[in-house]
Structure 1
Amino acid sequence: MTVPSIDLSAPVPRVNFQLMSKYEGKRVRLVGKVEEISGTTMKVKTSDDAMVDVLLTGAAPTDAFVEIDGTVEGPNVIREESNVGFGNDFDMKNYNQVCTLMNDKYQSLFL
């Protein structure tokens, strides 16, 4: 069995809305609840209860919760590179705590 390699040279931080501003112009991962899709823009509610516009580059997700991999383009805008459905039941409060810990006290373990 072959194990796929993971590129550790450029780790991608997991963020909530509050943390997005630290990474403007950089690639991030954000989990949100899909609130609305209109054309190529998707509005998601973040784990810290803010709204972010996601500029879609591919197919819109069909799940209620989605992880966006993309670049922060502004205070509340991410240009999507890809997305992964997280189903219709996801604990956003736990995810928010993980984001906070990964970008603060335990950052050295992840980045």
Structure 2
Amino acid sequence: MSLAAPRPRVTSSMLGDFIGSTVCLAGQVVEVDQVSRQWARIQTGEGTQVQCRVTLGDEFELVDGFVEVLGTVADKNSIDMQFYASLGNDFDLGAYDEAVRLSAQYPELFPQRSM
């Protein structure tokens, strides 16, 4: 999988439509497994908690605040995470989710392509 390839951004309510697909999802870190550090739980702008499992043998570094994860949707409540990026501690998940919904509603205005 190329990290440079375009991936759809989704909200938690869209995850069920993308099972098996690689997507981007933003949320606030609410829990990191302190023992194995192989998963984290994030809360999305819709208030849903999604479990993000680390793949490729890496560990989820202890991070707080907001993140955007890239990974394959395993089911409607979990993602097999391949990468994540910190979005800091001051991020508006509501605005993010609204932008994602609008891009899905009007794909002709928000094409998914590589730059």
Normalising by structure 1, report the TM-score. Answer: 0.84
Instruction: Using the TM superposition, give the Cα deviation of residue 60 of structure 1 relative to its aligned residue in structure 2, in angstroms.
Output: 2.1
Can you give the 5+ residue segments of structure 1 that lack an aligned partner in the other structure? 1-5
Instruction: Using the TM superposition, give the Cα deviation of residue 56 of structure 1 relative to its aligned residue in structure 2, in angstroms.
Output: 1.5
Q: 2:25 aligns with which of 13, 25, 30?
A: 30
Which deviates more from structure 2 when the two are superposed, residues 57-66 or residues 42-51?
A: 57-66
What is the alpha-carbon distance in structure 2 between the residues aligned to residue 78 and residue 72 of structure 1? 4
**One-letter amino acid of the counterpart of residue 96, structure 2:** Y
What is the alpha-carbon distance in structure 1 between the residues aligned to residue 101 and residue 32 of structure 2? 27
What pairs up with 1:1-111 in 2 under 5 angstroms?
A: 11-38=6-33, 39=36, 40-57=38-55, 58-61=58-61, 62-104=63-105, 106-108=106-108, 109-111=110-112
Instruction: Using the TM superposition, give the Cα deviation of residue 63 of structure 1 relative to its aligned residue in structure 2, in angstroms.
Output: 3.6
Can you give the 5+ residue segments of structure 2 that lack an aligned partner in the other structure? none
* Percent of matched pairs sharing the same residue: 30
**How many residues end up aligned between the 2 structures?**
103
> Does the CA-based 8 Å contact 1:34-1:44 persist in structure 2?
yes
What is the alpha-carbon distance in structure 2 between the residues aligned to residue 27 and residue 87 of structure 1? 23
What is the alpha-carbon distance in structure 1 between the residues aligned to residue 111 and residue 45 of structure 2? 19
Normalising by structure 2, report the TM-score. Answer: 0.82
CA-to-aligned-CA distance 1:34-58 (integer Å, 9 cap, x gap): 0001131111001111010000233
> Does the CA-based 8 Å contact 1:15-1:30 persist in structure 2?
yes
**One-letter amino acid of the counterpart of residue 46, structure 1:** T
Instruction: Using the TM superposition, give the Cα deviation of residue 29 of structure 1 relative to its aligned residue in structure 2, in angstroms.
Output: 0.1
What is the alpha-carbon distance in structure 1 between the residues aligned to residue 6 and residue 97 of structure 2? 19
**How large is the Cα RMSD of the aligned pairs?**
1.7
Which residue is 1:3 aligned to?
none
